[in-house]
Structure 1
Amino acid sequence: MIRRYGNSPRRGQRHRLRPGAYALLVRDGRLLLTHQSRPEPEFQLPGGGIDAGENGLRALHREVFEETGWTIGNARWLGAYRRFAFMPEYGRWAEKLCHVWLARPIRRLSPPTEAHHSAHWASPPDAMELLADPGARAFLARFRALI
């Protein structure tokens, strides 16, 4: 059973399944996070939706680069969780199936290419305070010993 974090599904509201790939990116005891300034400012684990025809690991590499400008290596799948959320950029409700990997940032090639994103380094305790998603915080707490 995949654990759910955050809000329950809205009764009577259709939620479209949206699988995604996200990463705990660890280097020198710090985590690389992304800050999305719009539509709502929040710190997040780098990652995002898995596109049609794309596997999770490929999506992870693409999304991390778009949101941070970094390449990654040594990705190891940790697990998955669900959350129900409104996605304002798509104008719809979604059941997000969030697959989480542990990976190492290798090289910064550019600033983030995705609009309204910026890359930030944080200590694990600071990341616990900054991350908006309770599922992301739960994975950080669960796998903190690996950092």
Structure 2
Amino acid sequence: MTRRFGDPPETCRSYRMRRGAYAILPQGKSVLLTHQEEPQPEFQLPGGGIDPGESPLQALHREVFEETGWKIASPVRLGAFRRFTFMPEYELWAEKLCIVYIARPVYALSHPTEPGHDAVWMDMAVAAEALGNPGDRHFLERALF
């Protein structure tokens, strides 16, 4: 059974499964996050949805690059969590299955290519408090402390 974070599903709603891959990217005493402006400003673990025909690792590399501009190496799966949420950018209620990895940030290739995202290096302890969802916080704290 995968652990759930956040609000429980509402019985009156229909949720669409949305699988995603996310990365914890430590370097020294800092961690690389993405800051997303819309639909509300929020710090997140870099990552996102797994496209049809794509493996979780392929999605992880693609999404981290899109949201941070960084190339990563040596990803190791830490676990997964579920959360039920409304995704305004897709206008759907989703059951998100978030697969979390820890990986090594190798080097920045460019600025983020995903509109509305900025790459942010943050002290690990500060990042644990700043992340926008409790699942991200749980895995960051478990991996780094």
TM over 0.5, shorter chain: yes
Q: Which amino acid aligns with 1:142?
A: R
User: C-alpha offsets along residues 44-68 of structure 1, whole Å, 9 cap, x if unaligned?
Assistant: 0000000000000000000000000
Any residues of structure 2 matched to 1:23-38 within 5 Å, and which? Answer: 23-38=23-38
State how far apart, in whole Å, the 2-side matches of 1:31 and 1:18 are: 25
Q: How far 1:29 sits from its partner (Å)?
A: 2.4
Unaligned runs of 5+ in 1: none
Partner of 2:68: 68
- Alignment partner of 1:8 is 2:8: yes
State how far apart, in whole Å, the 1-side matches of 2:43 and 2:143 are: 19
Partner of 1:144: 144
Q: How far 1:102 sits from its partner (Å)?
A: 0.2
Normalising to structure 1: TM-score of the pair?
0.97
Normalising to structure 2: TM-score of the pair?
0.98
Number of residues paired by the alignment? 145
Q: How far 1:39 sits from its partner (Å)?
A: 1.1
State how far apart, in whole Å, the 2-side matches of 1:126 and 1:119 are: 15
Partner of 2:57: 57
Partner of 1:127: 127
State how far apart, in whole Å, the 1-side matches of 2:28 and 2:72 are: 14
State how far apart, in whole Å, the 1-side matches of 2:29 and 2:126 are: 12
Q: How far 1:10 sits from its partner (Å)?
A: 1.4
- Alignment partner of 1:116 is 2:93: no
Percent identical across equivalent pairs? 57
User: C-alpha offsets along residues 9-37 of structure 1, whole Å, 9 cap, x if unaligned?
Assistant: 11210000000000000112210000000
Partner of 1:41: 41
User: C-alpha offsets along residues 72-96 of structure 1, whole Å, 9 cap, x if unaligned?
Assistant: 0010010000000100000000000
Q: How far 1:40 sits from its partner (Å)?
A: 0.8
State how far apart, in whole Å, the 1-side matches of 2:30 and 2:95 are: 30
Q: Which amino acid aligns with 2:71?
A: T
Partner of 1:97: 97
